[in-house]
Structure 1
Amino acid sequence: MNTLFLGALAVWGLWAATAEPARADCVAAPQLGLYQAPPAPNPAQVTASQGGASDSAAGDASRDRLGRVVAPVNINNQGPFRFIVDTGANRSVVSRDLAGHLGLVPSGSGEVHSVHGVTTAPLVPVQLLQYRNLSLESAPMPILESAVLAGEQGLLGVDGMAGRRLKMDFEHRCIEIIPSRGAPRLAGWEVIRGDLRFGSLMVIRGSINGLHVNLLLDTGSDTSLANEALRDALNARVRRNRARMDFAVAFNSGQPVVLENAIALPSIGLGGGVLEVRDVTAYIGNFHIFHLWNLIDEPALLLGMDVLSQTRGVAIDYQRHTVAFRIRGAPGAGSHLDDARSTFMSSVGVRN
């Protein structure tokens, strides 16, 4: 039986010196309707960077109602359809409604690991998975209920990102996927070296109040999550932690789960002091996904889109094992650049 890591998709879902090249004009991202999507774009209108059109693609994106990045994805030459870009998922996923619409027939089943446990999902083979004119490798895709996907039509996981750099420009609502080899330097971006676990999960080192922490980057989660080891380690270091009792609703295979115990983190250092994140709220729990990632005993914090979207952009290089952040520099925008340290704020709201 296949084992699928679909990350945290949330607290609202699942886990299973060269200048930058010209990019697509992505400011006016289209609103894709369910099954009434516009035709696939003309390849001549798609910006391809460093190589042929089959190796690279850049184009517009939109957001779902929870603030996550949504990409236009084609399946078997049909679409485009709305897929959440999920860097915490090692496998792309299709909704049950879309699978039925496309006539996809299950060929087996696999285990899907979510925040709170494991479920079994049917798997459907897909002949062609594309972002714009770029074909992405894809193993058989799990079928999940649309409710688990917050009404979207699928997840774009990282199974097709090997040897590539994924850049998400939140300011211009753009997504760019290009080969890592020969990729131009991202001028003005802060680069941090990371580590790939399970071959796909990007982990970077951080520091909270002098405590070393594993930071996981998950664009499929709208909310940040902390494990109990982080809470216990912080409580051992400070007399009184700024913890508070709030709650949020999570979905475990479509079933709501109440999350309690939120912790407020005034400051998180990234990359040995290169970056600093301020005012982060994370929900604490003995989440199954931390067991899966062998991070139950090490302080760990999953950074969701509540934090990542406060930057102007994030780029993950799956070949070089690096993460680049483009920081908001305007002081009036809730963030500022201070000498060698870049600071960005996380404005997290509690969902009641």
Structure 2
Amino acid sequence: MARMIWAAIGIAMGAAAIAQTAIPQSEIADTKPDDFIYVAATSQDRVGRVMTPVFVNGVGPFAFVVDTGASSTVIAPRVARRLSLQVDTSNTKLLRGITGSEIVPTVNVSNITAGGISLENTRLPVVEPRVFADADGIFGADAFGRGCLVVSFQRAKVAILSKPCPRADDNWEKLRARLRFGGLVVADAHIGSVRAVAIIDTGAERSLGNPALLAALRERKKISLDSNRTQVYSATSQIVFGDLLVTPSLRMGGLSVGRFHVVYGDFEVFKIWDVADRPAIVLGIDVLGQMDAIMIDYTRSEVLVLPRSSASGVTMKRRGMPTRLPRN
């Protein structure tokens, strides 16, 4: 029988590009600017995602997408081939993505490590890299357990810790957020005057809205009736069309983003997450990258953001070496 997982990774062809990178350590440190950069070309521009180096069975590093919207870590077939891992087509999982679902085979790995976090003796889905292209897999929410993820967009670096996040100073804004479905980060937000559920998804390049949000905005005459039809892809094979629209400003705790583009559509993922009947939005890197940093503490179920132009940051200590992130 197939086990169900979700992988909410997707691309919507559109505008606004932000390239992200990562470092090959769990602590934040200087690195060459071209280390582990991945930018997926679209029809109009280049949009980036958060990447991290990962070791599988002690071999690597492989470049994985850090995806807070995916319930499971997955690997690409080429990684399994390189490591001579046996792909098991009889032991499958049901992969549910933004646009649909499909059955995928699995592979057993002894360990998979990123930063200070390791998964031991685990069975991972093997997914064809339709969306993550040159990446070697997805590092999902299942891996974080009771750890910490810090992404500094300003400095283009990632820290993955196996312990609670360091205490933040007053420049960090704590969001009204919670963890659902085994690690999905959900926050309260306002899109214009509409209250909405916001899913924080570091694996999505473009923000996506559901029909309930679009209807609420149109009822208030806060959004244009004109749109551009756009193709949306996910980790599954289905391709769905959506409507690309300029959307009113976003407010989420201390984070405020001016008018921005959102792709609206009846995407499967909103049904999976049980938010199809109320206004909801997936916040991708196009929006998240407009802040300096985001910190997700899976132990305390806390989400903090560092808005642009903050004067200070948070001190992180690892192996006795203090590191500060991020600083203008």
Q: TM-score, normalised by structure 2?
A: 0.81
Aligned to 2:92: 109
How many residue pairs get matched?
289
* Residue of structure 2 equivalent to 1:325: 305
Change in 2 beyond 3 A, CA 1:295/1:8: farther
Instruction: Report how far residue 196 of structure 1 moved.
Output: 1.3
Shift of 1:131: 1.3
> What does residue 201 of structure 2 align with?
218
2:265 is aligned with 1:307: no
Query: Are residues 1:6 and 2:7 paired?
Result: yes
Is contact 1:164-1:317 (8 Å) kept?
A: yes
Alignment of 1:247-286 (within 5 A): 247-252=229-234, 255=237, 257=239, 259-271=241-253, 274-286=254-266
| Residue 165 in structure 1 maps to residue 169 in structure 2 | no
- Quote the offset at 1:224 in angstroms: 0.5
Per the alignment, do residues 30 and 131 of structure 1 end up closer, same or farther by CA in structure 2, a change over 3 Å counting? farther
Q: 1:24 aligns with which of 10, 13, 28?
A: 28
Residue 82 of structure 1: how far off its partner (Å): 0.7
2:28·2:158 contact (CA, 8 Å) conserved in 1?
no
1:318-340 deviation line (CA, Å, top 9, x unaligned): 1222211112219xxxxxxxxxx
**What 5-or-longer segments of structure 1 have no aligned partner?**
13-21, 33-61, 331-352
Deviations 1:152-177 (A, max 9, x none): 11011111112112101122222112
Report % sequence identity: 28
Compared CA separation, residues 124 and 263, structure 1 to 2 (3 A): same
Aligned: 1:123 with 2:106: yes
CA–CA distance in 2 between the matches of 1:296 and 1:221? 18
Q: Deviations along 1:294-343, whole A, 9 cap, x unmatched?
A: 0110100000011111111111111222211112219xxxxxxxxxxxxx
Aligned residue type for 1:251 = Y
Aligned with 1:64 (options 18, 39, 42): 39
Q: Given residue 204 of structure 1, which amino acid in structure 2 is its aligned partner? A: A
- Find the aligned partners of 2:113 and 2:144 in 1 and give their Cα distance: 12
Report the structure, 1 or 2, having the larger strand content: 2
Checking the alignment, whether the CA contact within 8 Å between 1:136 and 1:161 is kept in structure 2 is no
Q: Distance in 2 between matches of 1:151 and 1:141?
A: 19
Contact 1:138 1:160 (8 Å CA) reproduced? no
User: Which secondary structure state, in structure 2, belongs to the residue aligned with residue 28 of structure 1?
Assistant: coil
- 1:96, CA displacement in angstroms? 1.2
Q: Which structure 2 residues correspond to residues 145-160 of structure 1 after superposition, within 5 A?
A: 145-160=128-143
Where 2:275 maps in the other structure, the secondary structure is: coil
Change in Cα spacing, 1:256 to 1:7, as seen in structure 2 (3 Å) is closer
1:250 offset after TM fit, Å? Answer: 2.6
Match of 1:143 among 115, 120, 126: 126
Q: Is the 8 A contact 2:98 2:267 kept in 1?
A: yes
Aligned partner of 2:324 in structure 1 is none
What letter matches 1:207 in structure 2? H
Structure 2 residue aligned with 1:40? none
Where in structure 2 are there 5+ consecutive unaligned residues? 14-25, 41-46, 311-328
Closer/same/farther in 2, CA of residues 243 and 163 from structure 1, 3 Å limit: farther
1:17 aligns to what?
A: none
TM-score, normalised with respect to structure 1: 0.76
- Aligned equivalents of 1:23, 1:155: Cα separation in 2: 20
Q: How far apart in 2 are the matches of 1:128 and 1:23?
A: 20
Question: What secondary structure, in the 3-state scheme, does the structure 1 residue paired with 2:144 have?
Answer: coil
Q: Match for 1:25: what amino acid?
A: A
